[in-house]
Amino acid sequence: MIDPAPARLVVLISGSGSNLQALLEATSDPAFGAEVVAVGADRDGIAGLEHAAAAGVPTFVDSVKAYPSRDDWDVALAGHVAEHRPDLVISAGFLKLVGKRFLESFGDRYINTHNALLPSFPGIHGPRDALAYGVKVTGATLFFVDAGVDTGPIIAQTSVPVLDGDTEETLSERIKVAERAQLVEFVGRLVREGWTIEDRKVRIP
């Protein structure tokens, strides 16, 4: 039997790109079943873009301020992602909420990794908010993006202890170790096995 073509991944980033790097390493094995065909960012000069370039993956940058309105940015971003014909679009530390056009185009295949156990601590300060609340366990959540803020159907969650003496930085780094492993495992399973979503329940056969 001829192997199916690898699934096409477009990864969106805003920062250090350690989740992206984990995906680049995982997808270098053909058995993983996917390849990163492009990396998009909302800003220049970030380490994640260097990881992509080092791996020979094409990149694009769509900064919100380069467009007359947020809607124009959303349309441009959706267009640039579409050029790469993705089977799955992955927000990996991408610090922008996409808009209507993007979700119309990719809402059935746009996933995000968040550094807290949703629905607790949505938004961009997950570890800081978890520490401030005093929870003893937090973690990371992988989910399909919908029009809300970190509200979409959950694919997977992994727990991480909060330790006495943790700072935002130490907790964030501990979460990221678990988060990367979860992202790689479940992106692989999604592309190889497919999925269904019914009443918010994501099932991978």
Asked if residue 12 binds ligand GRF (CB under 6 A), the reply is no
- Assess whether 114 carries a catalytic annotation: yes
Asked if residue 176 binds ligand GRF (CB under 6 A), the reply is yes
Asked if residue 15 binds ligand GRF (CB under 6 A), the reply is yes
Give the nearer residue to ligand GRF in terms of CB position, either 83 or 173: 173
Give the nearer residue to ligand GRF in terms of CB position, either 19 or 158: 19
**Angstrom distance (rounded) from CA 31 to CA 55:** 18
Catalytic residue among 51, 80, 114, 125: 114
Question: Residues in contact with ligand GRF, total (CB under 6 A)?
Answer: 15
Asked if residue 152 binds ligand GRF (CB under 6 A), the reply is no
Q: From the CB of 165, what's the least distance to ligand GRF, in Å?
A: 20
Asked if residue 18 binds ligand GRF (CB under 6 A), the reply is yes
Q: Locate tokens 């989910």: which residue?
A: 143
Count of CB atoms within 10 A of residue 8's CB? 17
**Angstrom distance (rounded) from CA 160 to CA 148:** 25
Asked if residue 17 binds ligand GRF (CB under 6 A), the reply is yes
Asked if residue 115 binds ligand GRF (CB under 6 A), the reply is yes
Among 94, 122, 84, 96, residue whose Cα is nearest residue 19:
94
Q: From the CB of 177, what's the least distance to ligand GRF, in Å?
A: 10
Please check whether residue 42 is in contact with residue 63, taking contact to mean a CB–CB distance below 8 angstroms. yes
The length of the chain is: 205
Query: 3-state class of 12 per DSSP?
Result: strand
Among 7, 9, 19, 202, binds ligand GRF (CB under 6 A): 19
**Angstrom distance (rounded) from CA 100 to CA 97:** 10
Q: Locate tokens 């130490």: which residue?
A: 170
Catalytic residues: 114
